[in-house]
Amino acid sequence: MHDWNNKTILDGVRDGRLQLGLIVPPTKASSLHDLRYEELFHERVCVAVAPQHPFARRRAIPLTEVAAEPLVGLTREDYPNYYDLLSITFSKVKQKPCVIEEHDSMFGIMSAVEAGTGVAVVVDFGYSFGNRVKFLHLTPEPKPISVGIAGPKGQLSPAAEKFWQCAKEAASQK
């Protein structure tokens, strides 16, 4: 397992370094035309805050309030889809959020949030951060993010095919 961005995962599947990849599909579905892809599940978009942040005492935070906070996000170069997510999420909000710090992994973002650098708009993948950060609902709630599995078209190796089927089964029980 690798903690890579979508582009690196898809490049790895295309050039054979990876047999399969779990991805958030690109905004242009045509960019998957040469691959086998299947949606597995959806995850909600939420805001991550430090336990000492004033938002932490609440269950849900309006998008307008999140937009006024310093935001910690993923690197634009490696994760352009993240900025598409922010654009769509805050499209109906007058004040747009300002990303003050970028990280190349979700773990980096969570460390910055925990340190009080800012808040983060993230997908609640169920990462285990214990009580280091709190994940809160956004209002209005943004459209959930799709997560799927990608592989080369054609015959998969027996191990890859088994993994694909296990991923589908696990996702269906979610």
Mean pLDDT of the chain: 92
Shared-domain flag, residues 81 and 60 = yes
SS3 (DSSP) at 146:
strand
Confidence of residue 26 (pLDDT cuts 50, 70, 90): confident
Shared-domain flag, residues 10 and 33 = yes
Residue 16: how many other CB atoms lie within 10 Å = 8
Q: Domain range holding 14?
A: 6-41+145-172
Residue 1 in domain: no
Shared-domain flag, residues 98 and 154 = no
Shared-domain flag, residues 163 and 132 = no
Residue 129 in domain: yes
Shared-domain flag, residues 126 and 85 = yes
Does residue 109 have a pLDDT over 70? yes
pTM (2 d.p.): 0.84
Give the DSSP H/E element, type plus range, for residue 171: helix 158-172
Shared-domain flag, residues 17 and 57 = no
